[in-house]
Chains A and B, each alone.
Chain A
Amino acid sequence: MKNPHSYTGKALEKAVPLQPYALPNEKEWSGKRLLPTDNVISESIAAYFPGDALVAAVEYARLLKRPLLVRGEPGCGKTRLAQAIAYELHRDDYRQHYYEWHIKSTTKVNEGLYQIDHLGRLRDIEVGKEDPKAAEKSKELTNYRTFGPLGKAFLNSAKGNPKPTVLLIDEIDKADLDFPNDLLLELDQKRFLVPETDEIIEANDSLIVIITSNDEKELPNAFLRRCVFHYIDFPIQTKLEEIIRAKADEWKDKLGDGTPLPDELVNVIATKFLKLRELMKGWANTTKVPATSELLDWLKLIYTHWAKGQITFKKAESGEDSLLTLVHKPTQRVLFPEVLFKTVEDNQKFGNQSDGKGVS
């Protein structure tokens, strides 16, 4: 099962700043390369800690050459998985081999495969009466065909790169019910036909397809039968501490004076967050339990205030919990409830407790 390009989940144990790079552009598919200065972006990839089960699931999906359908509560890191895989396989050059297709409620399958600009061609035919260049261009339909993310991923994977291309189809449950069914052939046989130009676009077997879903809608059985699955559980305490430590290290120069978070504080933050989640899960009216993304926002605020000396930390004594309090709001029991609670009820129930029953 092990091959030199296996996904291990170890490449993003800390944030990685990338050199400025250019995104692949439509012109590339018509044989033109971009100038290095065009469309250049700078990016830093945040740390990502996949669980062992998730890493294994990715390898199973690659082994079986099937799309991996990743589910889990919002903010648990489903979308980041594809980027992390692409980065681990291609490092700084990963954007050349990584394609994202973010699904909306109005998205149609053809937007991901290809589209033909018929209006543009009509215009060129009209203009071509006086402009021979436009007339020449209008003769060839392929000049007006643009590929969507799925089409580009298929084409890129067919280039013969030994390392696989990664395609992310994000939040597939946002689209209407027919959308997954329309993708069956494309995902099953990794090819599609462009009937207007009579072309068959075929992907290499090694293409990695990661599909995410928030489970807001049940996906059709026919679609599910073509996927393998993974449900991302919330990280356990030790994993959570790793995440907190990595994020704090990432911010220590920007937001603080370079001092890393002490281990005790990391432990307290993780413990309190897990305790809050447990409390909220036990309350029937909670609709959104804070997940990793809320934790990171919360952590950022805590770190910023801690670096400025605005947070006091009192270690646990026998029979008591450790205390984290804001200097200017000493009675507030949960720090920064604004980023943790999404409803007024949650905020009232868990955020404003000052009777000692809160989580802090």
Chain B
Amino acid sequence: MEKAYPDVLFYEFFMALREKGLDLGINQYDWFLQAFLQSAIQTEAQLLNLFKTVWLTRASFQEEFEHLFDLHFRKAPDKFLLTTKIDEPKPAENVTSAKSDTQKQPEAPNEQPKDNPQENKGNTQNSQFSTQIPAPEPDVEMWLSIDTGVSEGSTPVHQAAGSLMKTEYIFNDAKHLPFAVRKTGQTLRKIHTRIIYETTNRLHFQAIIKQRVQDGFVHQLVYEKQKRGVQEIIWISDHSSTNLPYEPWNNSLRKIVADCPSVEKVHQYFYHIYPSPTQNNDDFKFFENRAQTTAILLSDMLRKCTKHTIVIIFSDVGAARQRFEAEHLQILFALTNAIRNKTKRFVWLNPVQRLSGTTAGYLSLMIPMRYPNHDDIRRFVNEL
């Protein structure tokens, strides 16, 4: 198999991490090489630790990082490698049967067309890493063939044809949206969100074949995992009269946020001018619908809120009328404090730009208040 980057160590793994969203530059690559060349790395665990030390910039990425490392560098089990030796006829039969097992389920390669190239990449890197831990090259190649379930030469052609057949849309259907909406959507997708890995009902053939080869039989069915965004957002809108002109803006932004793939749910609440404080002034009342027929207390709203939940408030805070009202400021400051005690991921979107001298102007000195244009959205996305 032809290597894409024959002279550059660990380049594919580095690029895979970048593609997954880790902000890695040439400096990080350079540091890794310096450390790698000067340290006596002997085991996979040491290599993984070095990779993590230099390249794992986000702790939340740890699981995915280790998964990618496995794909690229995990060494094939020795027992498996031995089975392909020429002087033992029986293991060769095993290989054939493993191959035919995978072929008995024709959906398998088609169901995971994205995985195969990664596995191929992984094996390319594996052979790079094998300069540190020497492994017989023909064995690795044999493993490659078995793993994909198709012969090496025909793989790319077959996959390309399959992927073309499966294409339903030539152009992205989001293209009909106005540019500003798409651009905002793209920016908002960069919000750091929580992701969990769920077990699917698709079998993980690579893991099963490894079991078969390593232990001689399949003792556990392993299923593939897929990631799912579980980010929750609380969106609070002011629907007083001064905010009416901005309502379509509010709605379209909320819809864009709700459409982000990693956002699981957007909870929408309303208030009028300012949320009414309760009798003891230690809690606030919000409405669950625009008609104001049902209300919820802030404390109840925040009960399910974790430090990962994002809270967004959309209101002009009296800036549209260029007013300053000390009472509003007091109430809103107490409200924002209550929210920020629960989550730091909080932003106030104000559709009015001229804030000086208004309640909003003073409030903006104390809390993150942003005008929802591209620059400010990008800024608060970075802050969140």
Contacts and interface: CB of A to CB of B under 8 A. Distances in A.
A229 B52 contact: yes
Given A53-B49, A57-B49, A231-B59, A66 B31 contact: yes
A56 interface: yes
Interface in B56-87: 56-59, 62
Given A1-B40, A217-B344, A228-B31, A60 B307 contact: no
Interface of A: 1, 53, 56-57, 59-61, 63-64, 66, 71, 177, 215-218, 220-221, 224-225, 228-231, 287
Given A61-B53, A64-B34, 20 more contacts: A1-B40, A53-B45, A56-B46, A57-B49, A57-B53, A60-B53, A63-B35, A66-B31, A177-B383, A218-B58, A218-B384, A220-B382, A221-B23, A221-B57, A228-B31, A229-B54, A229-B57, A229-B59, A231-B52, A231-B56
B167 interface: no
Contacts of B384: 218
A66 B28 CA distance: 11
Given A56-B53, A61-B53, A225 B23 contact: yes
B212 interface: no
A60 B23 contact: no
28 contacts: A1-B38, A1-B39, A53-B49, A56-B50, A59-B39, A60-B50, A60-B53, A63-B35, A64-B31, A64-B54, A177-B383, A217-B344, A218-B384, A221-B57, A224-B23, A224-B57, A225-B23, A225-B25, A225-B27, A228-B31, A229-B53, A229-B54, A229-B56, A229-B59, A230-B53, A231-B52, A231-B59, A287-B306
A231 B307 contact: no
Contacts of B27: 225
B43 to A, nearest CB: 11
Interface in B354-371: none
Contacts, number: 65
A192 to B, nearest CB: 21
B25 A215 contact: no
Contacts of A218: 58, 192, 384
Contacts of A61: 53
A71 B53 CA distance: 11
The 7 closest A-B pairs by CB, nearest first: A221-B23, A224-B57, A57-B53, A53-B49, A64-B31, A1-B39, A60-B53
Contact of A225 (B28, B53, B307): B28
Nearest to A173: B344
B31 A231 contact: no
Contacts of A1: 38-40
A274 B288 CA distance: 42
Contacts of A220: 382
Nearest to A66: B31
Nearest to A287: B306
Contacts of A63: 34-35, 38-39
Given A216-B344, A225-B57, A60 B39 contact: yes
Contacts of B52: 229-231
Nearest to B50: A60
Interface string B22-38: 01110110010011001
Nearest to B25: A225
A249 B129 CA distance: 44
B137 to A, nearest CB: 29
B53 A215 contact: no
A209 to B, nearest CB: 14
Contacts of B38: 1, 63
B192 A215 contact: no
B59 A60 contact: no
Interface in B330-384: 344, 382-384
Nearest to A63: B35
Contacts of A56: 39, 46, 49-50, 53
Contacts of B24: 225
Contacts of B59: 71, 215, 229, 231
Nearest to A223: B57
Contacts of B34: 63-64
Nearest to B49: A53
Nearest to A59: B39
Contacts of B62: 231
Contact of A228 (B54, B58, B344): B54
Nearest to A56: B49
Nearest to B52: A229
A220 B384 CA distance: 10
Nearest to A72: B59
Nearest to B30: A64
Contacts of A71: 59
Given A216-B344, A217-B344, A231-B59, A64 B383 contact: no
A287 B308 CA distance: 12
A53 B45 CA distance: 9
A57 B384 CA distance: 28
A305 B53 CA distance: 42
A58 B53 CA distance: 9
A215 B56 CA distance: 14
Contacts of B23: 221, 224-225
Contacts of B31: 64, 66, 228
Nearest to B36: A60
Nearest to B54: A228
Nearest to A231: B59
Q: Which of A57, A60, A218, A287 has the most CB of B within 10 A?
A: A60
Interface in B1-40: 23-25, 27-28, 31, 34-35, 38-40
Nearest to A220: B382
A171 to B, nearest CB: 14
A190 B146 CA distance: 53
Contacts of A64: 31, 34-35, 54
Nearest to B62: A231
B45 to A, nearest CB: 8
A186 B40 CA distance: 31
